[in-house]
Structure 1
Amino acid sequence: PNGKMGYGVLRYSPNTVVAAVDSQKAGSDMTREVGIPGGCPVVASVEDAHALGADVLVLGVANSGGFIPADWYAHLDRAVALGMSVVNGLHDKLGPRYAGKTREGQWVWDVREEPKGLAIGTGAARKLPNKRVLFVGTDMAIGKMTAALEMWKATEARGRRAEFVATGQTGITIRGRGVPLDAIRVDYATAAIERAVLEAKDAEYVFVEGQGALGHPGSTSTLPLMRGSCPTHLVLCHRAGQTAIRNLPDVPIPEFQAYVALYRDVAACAGVFPHPVFLGGCLNTAHIADEAEAREAVRAFAVALGAPATDPVRFGVAPLVDALLEG
């Protein structure tokens, strides 16, 4: 999961990705290494990437704690000296380091910056006439962003006005805007989501990238997402075969239908806010090589949910989009 920033940009960015930098895998390509189509080459250095035409360097990790590894700074210094711009999704800031050291047209984007002018949330999104789909999960880094992006793209492909509200560094980098939720002071987190959802008011369907999980002891993001977006629909995301929180094996993942009921009840707050419709589930089967086994895992997930399910990357999101558009 630490590579999800790079993987997400490689899979979904509208900009061309000319190379990935990894000195240990140089000479390979990203299709061979992680299965993402396109054959993006892996090179040994930022100089090699620059020689292939790269003019922006994206820090492609989303590690625990959001720190920049100490041995990366020399590479970053060389990239900036070459005239490359930098996208930094980690908590450690690069703007101050390179202040006054960039050329005209060159920039450093620290994605995790709290937006200015935030107030306190008001629940205003509940008054919007559109449909707002929030992606919730059984753990962190489990596929919520991917599911939201796939449903957004598929809904637009059907001729509907749709918007994707990014709430993490990877989604923001892909979309070019969004809310870096884990960089916002907790008192203003709901308002930040609310503002982004209100800005998307002209869309018929708004897909809100989820963060964290209600059952994760270290997660604080779900409630601000619920109150800020006032979702009309939910999608539950899960990794096939996972039974406990990753790195916390003594914290089990609840039975799926009970978990969905909890998410719906918390979102509704005893009728104060909309009681969201449960559309179905998105199952991450990336670690399952056999296609038939992956299909069986999706089938079993659907049975356990009592609702439609799919792997959004492997099998598409048609069942969930159908349910949304027909509802």
Structure 2
Amino acid sequence: MSTIPFTPPKARPYSPQGPPADIVVLPVARQATLPAARPVPVFPSSPLAAHIVDDVAPAGSTSTAIVYCEANFGAIDGKTANGLIRHSEKYEVLSVIDSEKAGQDTGMVLDGIPNGIPLCSSLADALRQAGDTPDQFIFGMAPASGMMSPHERSIVLEAMTQGMNIVNGLHEFLNDDAEFVAAGIASNVTIQDVRKPRDKKDLRMFSGRINDVTCPRIAVLGTDCAIGKRTTATILTRALNDAGLKAVLIGTGQTGLMQGARYGIALDAVPSQFCAGELEAIILEAYEAERPDVIIIEGQGALSHPAFSTTSFILRGSCPQAVVLQHAPGRAARCDFEKMRMPEAATEINLIQTFSKTKVIGLTINHENMSDTDVDAAIGNYSRELGIPVTDALTRSPSDLLEMVAVAFPGLRVKSGTGQL
């Protein structure tokens, strides 16, 4: 049994990476403040993966977008909208629709730092504030059902009549829906089903060629879904690039692909027989095209979670030499499973290291339902209990993440020419 006291949650309404009341959050790249130098790299993809990124804007340009996230912005099911506000290389988000938070600033809601992107009450309100019709209407929620409600369908159809292309990250593929296909033709707009995999005849089996990838592969996994794995992976990738290394991020979910990951696939939509092979093939593609110093793989779900199997395929397909584990000490129960208590970090680490030939090199804290004092205490307690580095990727210095990697892979410290690693 862990000696670290459990922090009872007050509520679970806000994003897993939302701001504690007394935390001063370090800036994270968002629409209005993306750093000009060395962002998370976006590289052209080979034809083999063209279906994954076929809607990427040309270099030097972005598509404008409205994101729909009614009643869920800043909440767990709004993780797609939350992620796009924090980081996007593909879309310039003009506003987010959530009538419950209309009039507020999206950055203030998520991280306590204004970013100038407003929350709007309706599609009409968002269009009025945009002036010109945006290029894209993004469905920014990820409900457990993976499906739209009748009301949500009507909103998306209205956006199409207004001349906006649709970006859909749900398991419900709108290109297979006669009503949406007809609406697209009538309004001369397109529908992008981000999760839709390649044709079955083109899916790839695991080959074992992952061993040809000689640079370090680090997977960012978690103890639950919607816990901040993608955010931590993005921050880590950016920090490694800023430190003078060439790091490539492999996306494994719809939000990462929407944010602009040029290498990746929504694994939870791929038939299980091909999941490991598809991920392996994309990692090989990234390695052969870019010859990076390090590859970061975005995690999904949790290995211990009975409802999701994607983590097992990520471990099998990427065969990572190292894992960074994301954990939420203030979360009582698994997301969407209120009767299932969260696992302890030590238990998850043991499971990961038993299941796969890898090593957990660090723990990152998701600070939901925690004060800054709580986070400090958790960092100290987990460091002593687990014997590994611990940090909060959003509120502590990126140098903490870099040190995790440098200790595990000393050769990367030598390769870094900036002295930051």
Partner of 2:368: 286
- Say whether 1:101 aligns with 2:178: no
- Say whether 1:200 aligns with 2:289: no
Higher mean Cα deviation, 279-288 or 187-196?
279-288
Is the Cα–Cα contact under 8 Å of residues 280 and 305 in structure 1 kept in the other structure? Answer: no
Q: Structure 1 pair 303/19, CA: closer, same or farther in 2 (3 Å)?
A: same
Q: How does 1:174-185 map to 2 (within 5 A)?
A: 174-177=259-262, 178-185=264-271
Shift of 1:251: 4.1
Higher mean Cα deviation, 128-137 or 38-47?
38-47
The code of the aligned residue for 1:72 comes to E
Aligned pairs, number? 317
Is the Cα–Cα contact under 8 Å of residues 250 and 261 in structure 2 kept in the other structure? Answer: no
Is the Cα–Cα contact under 8 Å of residues 67 and 92 in structure 1 kept in the other structure? Answer: yes
Shift of 1:175: 2.0
Q: Report the secondary structure of 1:2's partner residue.
A: helix
CA distance in 2, matches of 1:91, 1:259: 28
Shift of 1:84: 1.1
Q: Report the secondary structure of 2:356's partner residue.
A: helix
Structure 1 unpaired stretches of 5+: 269-275
CA-to-aligned-CA distance 1:273-303 (integer Å, 9 cap, x gap): xxx2322011100332x32332222222323
Shift of 1:58: 1.1
- Say whether 1:135 aligns with 2:220: yes
CA distance in 2, matches of 1:285, 1:131: 28
1:57 to 108, 128, 137: 137
Is the Cα–Cα contact under 8 Å of residues 89 and 170 in structure 1 kept in the other structure? Answer: yes
Q: Report the secondary structure of 1:50's partner residue.
A: helix
- Say whether 1:257 aligns with 2:332: no
- Say whether 1:312 aligns with 2:369: no
Partner of 2:20: none
2:120 to 32, 39, 43: 43
CA distance in 1, matches of 2:336, 2:167: 28
TM-score after normalising by structure 1: 0.90
Partner of 2:301: 212
The code of the aligned residue for 1:214 comes to L
Higher mean Cα deviation, 91-100 or 279-288?
91-100
Q: How does 1:1-327 map to 2 (within 5 A)?
A: 1-14=76-89, 15-35=91-111, 37=113, 38-51=115-128, 52=130, 53=132, 54-95=134-175, 96=177, 97-98=180-181, 99-103=184-188, 106-116=189-199, 117-177=202-262, 178-201=264-287, 202-242=291-331, 244-248=333-337, 251-268=340-357, 276-288=358-370, 290-326=371-407, 327=409
The code of the aligned residue for 1:10 comes to I
Q: Report the secondary structure of 1:17's partner residue.
A: strand
Is the Cα–Cα contact under 8 Å of residues 304 and 351 in structure 2 kept in the other structure? Answer: no
Q: Structure 1 pair 189/78, CA: closer, same or farther in 2 (3 Å)?
A: same
Partner of 1:273: none
CA distance in 2, matches of 1:197, 1:42: 37
TM-score after normalising by structure 2: 0.71
Shift of 1:247: 4.4
Shift of 1:322: 2.1
Higher mean Cα deviation, 295-304 or 306-315?
295-304
The code of the aligned residue for 1:162 comes to A
CA-to-aligned-CA distance 1:33-91 (integer Å, 9 cap, x gap): 33363132111222332331432111111110211121012221221111111111111
Q: Report the secondary structure of 2:313's partner residue.
A: helix
Is the Cα–Cα contact under 8 Å of residues 393 and 401 in structure 2 kept in the other structure? Answer: no
The code of the aligned residue for 2:304 comes to G
Say what the alpha-carbon RMSD is for the aligned residues.
Answer: 2.0
Higher relative contact order (CA 8 A, sep 6+): 2
Q: Structure 1 pair 18/84, CA: closer, same or farther in 2 (3 Å)?
A: same
Q: Structure 1 pair 315/86, CA: closer, same or farther in 2 (3 Å)?
A: same
Shift of 1:320: 2.6
Q: Report the secondary structure of 2:186's partner residue.
A: coil
CA distance in 2, matches of 1:314, 1:48: 33
CA distance in 1, matches of 2:112, 2:344: 32
CA-to-aligned-CA distance 1:89-117 (integer Å, 9 cap, x gap): 111122241342343xx422111101241
CA distance in 1, matches of 2:141, 2:156: 14
Shift of 1:244: 4.4
Q: Structure 1 pair 183/307, CA: closer, same or farther in 2 (3 Å)?
A: same
- Percentage of pairs with the same residue: 29
Higher mean Cα deviation, 41-50 or 143-152?
41-50
Shift of 1:148: 0.7
Shift of 1:234: 0.5
